[in-house]
Amino acid sequence: MTTLTALVSTFKRGVAAAALFVAAMAAPVMGELQPPSVIPVKTVINSTGPEITLADLAENPAILPDEWKTRAVISSPDLGTSRQVPLVNIAYALQRYPDMNAVVVRGKSSLTVKRAGVVVEPAKIRAAVLDYIAGREDWRDLKIRADFLDVPDMVSAETTNIAISVTGMEYNARTATYTFYAEVRDDKTSQRIRVPAKMHTLARVWVAAQTIEKGAILADDNVRADWTDTDPISPSSVPATESIAGFEADRRILAGEIIGRTSLSQPICAERGAPIEVAAARSAIAVTMRAQAVTRGRRGDRITCVNDSSRRQFAVKLTAPGKGILLGN
């Protein structure tokens, strides 16, 4: 019957060490190398895989027969973590190998097992989620911004050959949050992580490129098209698909502010007595004549003008500062 015996000795610094062995029938000699009867083990073990092998544990792996070196003893901790393992656990683990029942493992009573791994950059995880969003058929024609709430920053892999793929997502209507499920793979391991995010659909609107004073005319140098969230966007915001060049600011508009229709007016195109260039179409011939504005008006307004020569009055629709088109006959 197999029995377990623990021998405890005291080091100079008062650190207890255990020498544990299992007594049973001795295994036959394998190959040319005589199997050791005592295996000194390290105090700190750095793991490079999902399992700790006997070669990982031994202070001098060269004393081990080749067949013993790759034998799994205990499982490794999670990537990027460490844990304490009692020496007695190592002794119990070796009992499953019949030819090691008479072997003693010697070392401190508790060992530190580490598994460092390669840290996966959070930016790469975010990029994988954004690629997934861009590839979804139902979102393909939308401009979307993802606000990541908690990208794991302690994800590790065994090797540098890392691939990240998003396998699906879930929406929580109560919190209006999406959870994306990603798989991180390398040459040896695969792990699943969760990436929560808030999603915002964007619209392209006109924004003040600089502070625009009241009465200023909007032009390419003081406005720009920019993307913004559609959920808090005002219905009066002017989409970038509409031209606002030539409009007049009804109030002071701060730099970066979304420009709304309620902040704009058509520009003044004619003051009373100002000259107006009036275009008129007669059959297939375009005729331009000079006139004076009888009333003040903005672009699109209908005003009365008087012909400089005949002094005849007629109606004009203003199209630009100092310009209009003849209305009626």
Q: Are 38 and 58 in contact, with CB atoms under 8 Å apart? A: no
Q: Is the pLDDT of residue 92 over 80?
A: yes
At residue 27, the pLDDT reads: 41
The amino acid occupying position 64 is: L
Are the C-beta atoms of 182 and 196 separated by less than 8 Å? Answer: no
- The residue among 157 and 254 whose pLDDT is bigger is 254
Q: What are phi and psi of 197, to 5 degrees?
A: -155, 150
**pLDDT reading at 231 higher than 90:** no
Judged by phi (left if over 0) then psi (alpha if -120 to 50, else beta), residue 81 lies in beta
The confidence score (pLDDT) of residue 282 equals: 67
208: Cβ contacts below 8 Å, ≥ 6 apart? 222, 223, 253, 254, 255, 256, 257, 259
- DSSP H/E element including 200: strand 190-208
**Cα distances (Å, whole numbers) of residue 54 to 28, 105, 295:** 19, 11, 100
Q: Are 42 and 107 in contact (CB under 8 A)?
A: yes
Structure token pair of residue 71: 């034998």
CA 174 from chain centre, in angstroms, equals: 22
Tokens standing for residue 185:
């793979």
C-alpha dihedral (45, 51, 57, 58), degrees to nearest 10: -140
- Amino acid (1-letter code) at residue 84: Q
Longest distance between any two alpha carbons in the chain, whole Å: 131
All domains of the chain in start order, with CATH: 3-116 (no CATH), 129-199 (no CATH), 268-326 (2.30.30.760)
Alpha helix ranges (H) inside 73-121: 87-94
3-state helix vs strand vs coil in the chain, percent to 5 = 15, 45, 40
Q: What's the rounded mean pLDDT across residues 209-229?
A: 92
**Is the pTM higher than 0.75?**
no
Distance CA 244, CA 236 (A): 13
The confidence score (pLDDT) of residue 28 equals: 45
- Mean pLDDT (the chain) is 84
Type of residue found at 104: V
Q: How confident is the model at residue 107 (pLDDT cuts 50, 70, 90)?
A: very high
Beta-carbon count within 10 A of 161 CB: 11
Let me know: does 169 contact 114? Beta carbons within 8 Å. no
Q: Who has greater pLDDT, 11 or 299?
A: 299
Confidence of residue 273 (pLDDT cuts 50, 70, 90): very high
pLDDT at 98: 92
